[in-house]
A and B are shown apart, each in its own frame.
Chain A
Amino acid sequence: MNAAHYRRVGDTALVRRWLIGTAVVLTVALLAMPLLMIFVQAFSQGWSTYVANVLDEFTLSAIGLTLLVAVLTVPLNLVFGVFFAWAVTRFTFPGRKLLTTLIDIPFAVSPVVAGLLYLLLYGNNGWVGQWLGEYDVQLMFSWPGIVMVTLFVTCPFVARELIPLMQQQGREEEEAAVVLGASGWQLFRRVTLPNIRWALIYGIILTNARAVGEFGAVSVVSGNIRGETNTLSLHVELLYQDYNVVGAFAAASLLAALALLTLIAKSFVEWRQSKD
């Protein structure tokens, strides 16, 4: 290692200590303290109040709806993400660049605008909404609408994790497998999947985190009916606006716990990836 012999910028003990110190202090103030604050507030009236808040009828139904949204959107985006990454990394065709730019739209568009797009199309004034209305199908202000906008905001995650990795790995192994007579499914299961599994898991973790926590888009199409169309994020807002701060933080602590699990899972996946 050359680095051990030559001095580089910022190697002086003073600079080093000062930079690490500033970084740690800023991170604790900006990121760690807010995280800690969620749990401090949630438990501020004791354990029994916390349990009562979490087991509240409306909180439980919000948890149920949130899980339903995740269970429906994550697998759909998983399938789409894999096919999309396969199409744009394994083949060359006109419009490939455009396609990879299009997939970024949900990252650039404000969640409120995303919700509005769906409301304008599927709401009572929208052309699809009017047509569906004739058959008494109401998608907006009910759970299918929440699932639809969540699908919109989370659709890039799996594809965006897979594309750089699959590009970097190239297609030689897969071509060899095809030449040796592997069927499409065998090719995917035996060759592609083992190579991309950690990136795939990472994509699923990110999709799940966003699907569970989405707020802006969901609040446009939800209608906020307590016990019916309230996701956990919306429930947090509702309790907070009702000045039930401790209740709001109790619900928020569930989401924060999930965020912590997400970070741990992410670190684990990165550690496994670096071992492969």
Chain B
Amino acid sequence: MTQTLAAGSLPRKKVRSVTARVLPGFGLSLGISLFFISLVLLLPMTGLVMHTAGMGWDNFWFVVTDPRVVASYKVTLWTALAASVFNCFFGLLLAWVLVRYDFVGKRLLDAIMDLPFALPTAVAGITLATLFADNGLYGQMLTAIGVKVAYTPLGIVVAMAFTSVPFVVRTVQPVLEELSPEDEEAAVSMGASDFTVFRRILFPALWPAIVTGGALSFTRSLGEFGAIIFIAGNMPYVSEVTSLMIFIRLQEYDFPAASAIAAVVMAVSLLLLLLINVWQGRYLKRLHGGA
């Protein structure tokens, strides 16, 4: 098996096929990887396929186009988009400040950026709900200016934005660090304004990373559940996200409906995952294009 696989890739990458025989553990490591992925990732998907396939097209369409479910798609999509757009700006600002400037407390600022990934989503959920509730610290201030966040779709945006903060920061940071200063310094010394240099020289180098981070943030927000349900109020047609719809159908023991909606969500997330991978592959190639 090893021999044929190595021989198959011989014409393209001669050196690598030789090393495939030098290092040990090809069969063992690939075997364990395939076994684990099949058992943990792929096998469970067969259940979803079987349950969805068993219900017939008409029934499937009826369930996934139910007005309450469609309303949940809309809310989920626009709140996830709003949260990701916020994170693009916030992430760019934070990456810029962390890379370009030195100041007291910088390391602390850098460390706390990862809090949303370290903090369990349920904990984030009850905390944000308490802060933004009408009598909460932020809720009181916002109520004074007539904005209601808790138990409205805006609350969903807040929860999604919180849980996906690190994505843009952490994708833009390394790109900004490795940016060579020559073009920028030349432009500045020739008298171009900061804004012009940013727009014409820095932004073109940064935007692929911003888009990647934004897309990751969007994907994560579409699937978020724990942080949202506490602050959203979960009103049908208004502030129910799609992952909650699946959960509700499950609690009603309506397994076919839950699987059908899950199949839609799953298809969208897998498509997004594929697009992000293709995009990153292309963008990385362009980065190394000169070499």
Within 8 A of B (CB), among A157-198: 171, 174-175, 178-179, 183-184, 187
| Contact yes or no, B112 A31, CB < 8 A | yes
Q: Bound complex: CA of A27 vs CA of B97, how far in Å?
A: 12
Within 8 A of A (CB), among B37-52: 37, 40-48, 50-51
| Contact yes or no, B265 A118, CB < 8 A | no
| Contact yes or no, A175 B19, CB < 8 A | yes
* Minimal beta-carbon separation of A77 from chain B (angstroms): 9
* Minimal beta-carbon separation of B158 from chain A (angstroms): 9
Q: Bound complex: CA of A92 vs CA of B244, how far in Å?
A: 42
Q: B59 interface residue, CB < 8 Å from A?
A: no
Q: Bound complex: CA of A183 vs CA of B7, how far in Å?
A: 25
Q: A155 interface residue, CB < 8 Å from B?
A: yes
Which residues in A have their C-beta under 8 angstroms from that of B151?
A: none
Size bin of chain A's contact surface: 35 or more
| Contact yes or no, A110 B273, CB < 8 A | no
| Contact yes or no, B223 A109, CB < 8 A | yes
| Contact yes or no, B48 A216, CB < 8 A | no
| Contact yes or no, A213 B121, CB < 8 A | yes
Q: Bound complex: CA of A152 vs CA of B39, how far in Å?
A: 10
A23-B93, A33-B137 known; 20 new pairs, CB 8 Å cut-off, are A7-B188, A9-B194, A9-B202, A10-B198, A19-B93, A26-B90, A30-B90, A31-B162, A34-B128, A87-B32, A88-B33, A102-B42, A120-B255, A155-B40, A175-B19, A209-B117, A213-B122, A255-B119, A263-B118, A267-B111
Q: Which residues of A contact B (CB under 8 A)?
A: 2-3, 6-10, 12, 15-16, 19-20, 22-24, 26-27, 29-35, 37-38, 41, 79-80, 83-84, 86-88, 90-94, 99, 101-113, 116-122, 125-128, 148, 151-152, 155, 171, 174-175, 178-179, 183-184, 187, 206, 209, 212-216, 219-220, 232-234, 236-237, 240, 245, 248-249, 252, 255-256, 258-260, 262-264, 266-267
